[in-house]
Amino acid sequence: MGPFAASYILLVASAVRAFQYTELAQYVDSHQEEYVEALRDWVAVESDSSNVLKRSELNRMMEMVAQKLRQMGGTVELVDVGEQELPDGSTLALPKVATAQFGSDPNKRTVCVYGHVDVQPAKLEDGWATEPYNLTDINGNLYGRGASDNKAPVLAWIHAVAAYQALSMELPVNVKFLIEGMEETGSNGLDAMILAQRDTFFSDVDYIIISDCGWLSRRPALTYGTRGNCYFYAEVEGPKQDLHSGVYGGAVIEPMIDLIGILDTLISPSGKILIPGIREAVAPLSDEEWKMYQDIQFDMDNYRNKVGVSQLMYNNKVDLLAHLWRYPTVSIHGIEGAFSDPGTKTVIPAKVTAKFSIRQVPNMDPAAVKKQVTDYLHSVFAKRKSPNKLKVTMVIGAKPWLADTQHALYEAGKAAVKRVFQMDPDLIREGGTIPVARTFQDVTGKSIIMMPIGGFDDGLHSQNEKISRYNYIEGTKLFIAYLNEVSQITIQNKDI
């Protein structure tokens, strides 16, 4: 061993010894109430990005984020990302994106934490047990819209940095924040902003951390993949106006019957996608993947009961997880133009539009899927010999994201989980889509990890969304420990 290697090992060893985790964890424990009050203040803001009438609330939310980061001494900017066009043709300013920087030591790693502070709509009459915008503590669970998705995780990251500052401890890495306010409606303006700042804000970033997901069970998790999404409209148009079924039924070929007929050819009752070329494009399940799924903590009965069904599509853990995470699926979401109000109405709709989606996985390509679906539906429709017109359009084409679980970022994540929770994490994938992960990967070329702190039963997007105090507080400690673990990644293995 040469003198350089010996001194390097001593340097790393001293850095490890210097990490005062116990003091930091004690600080977090003693400031729990302050953290809960901060979450209460944030949840009280109705930052619903889907409702243009709430845009002032969303703008206020972004100002609150910026103010909190400024108070901590960060270099903070509220970045203008342009306007959105509304259905009536008017435009509305998009909420600004908050960026912040803590530390700029060129000898340290730099991480960028991504999060969002907009929320899904919520009303008490939707079936909430508590007021959705009034954080309510019941048996250690903090109920409120946006509590888990994604306000508590964003606050936990901010509190992690603030804990180092409060104890006058040097941050082990430089930390940047990128917090947006349009994630729930497609992150309008964010892709262009990331591209515009690739060589400025992102130029010195080594790693990107996303905490916009959740655990699968009571065991902590690291997430290494998400599915993408291709969303389609299939429109069938017939007569020039809606018709009375008593007067015209039997005389015309009905658009709704055509539409339901072609939708029925997309997927079999057992879940097999029938569109040629889709299944053939999917990356095969490796033995290593199968083993990883086998080791994951997952209760099938609990999952089935939580969903509220008597039977799932698959009856063993590996098959179910694989079809949730790494196989595509077809879901039919609704039919626009159909009669759906209470009561009876004997109408033949003149034009109906089905909305359906196909979740993307490696090695599927949205452009290829668009052609496969369009060609297939037109061929099926042609066999019906209908005089009606079919139009198929793809309105979303989001790619999947997949990381290498052997990367040093994930090794650091495992070490941080072990320190805080005294157990190894589950390595999981996410069935949903987090498009920003793929954007970060494609635009910046940086390595990404998803580090969730939300619980498996938090009810994201649903009634009675919550985060537990345990996950919120221990999650803050996890982020503190993770910043230290990332600082230990050596130059030699940082891109393993």
Q: Which two tokens stand for residue 163?
A: 């804990």
Q: Is residue 461 packed enough to be buried (19+ CB in 10 Å), middle (13-18) or exposed (0-12)?
A: middle
Which H, E and C letters describe 332-385, residue by residue?
EEEEECCCCCCCCCCEECCEEEEEEEEEECCCCCHHHHHHHHHHHHHHHHHHCC
Report the C-alpha gap between 92 and 329 in whole angstroms: 35
- Whether the CB-CB separation of 7 and 479 falls below 8 Å is answered with no
Local structure of residue 169 (DSSP, 8 states): P
| Catalytic residue list contains 183 | yes
- Whether the CB-CB separation of 172 and 487 falls below 8 Å is answered with yes
Q: Which two tokens stand for residue 18?
A: 């210097």
- Whether the CB-CB separation of 482 and 412 falls below 8 Å is answered with yes
Report the C-alpha gap between 266 and 155 in whole angstroms: 43
Local structure of residue 494 (DSSP, 8 states): T
Query: What SS3 class is residue 443?
Result: helix
Q: How many CB atoms lie within 10 A of CB 429?
A: 26
Which residues are within 8 A (CB) of 280 and not within 5 positions of it... i.e. 6 or more apart? none
Report the C-alpha gap between 277 and 167 in whole angstroms: 58
| DSSP strand pairing (389-398 vs 228-237) | antiparallel
Q: Which residue of the set 48, 183, 191, 465 is catalytic? A: 183
CA neighbor of 173 nearest in space, from 208, 200, 199, 201: 208
| Catalytic residue list contains 118 | yes
Question: Which backbone phi and psi does 427 adopt, to 5 degrees?
Answer: -100, 115
Q: How far is CA 240 from CA 253, 259, 339, 349, 384, in A?
A: 13, 17, 17, 10, 20
- Whether the CB-CB separation of 226 and 434 falls below 8 Å is answered with yes
Report the C-alpha gap between 394 and 38 in whole angstroms: 41
Q: Which residue of the set 48, 118, 212, 474 is catalytic? A: 118
| DSSP strand pairing (207-210 vs 447-450) | parallel
Buried b (16+ CB within 10 A) or exposed e, 55-72: bebbbebbebbbebbeeb
Local structure of residue 273 (DSSP, 8 states): B
Size of the chain in residues: 496
Mind telling me the catalytic residues? 118, 183
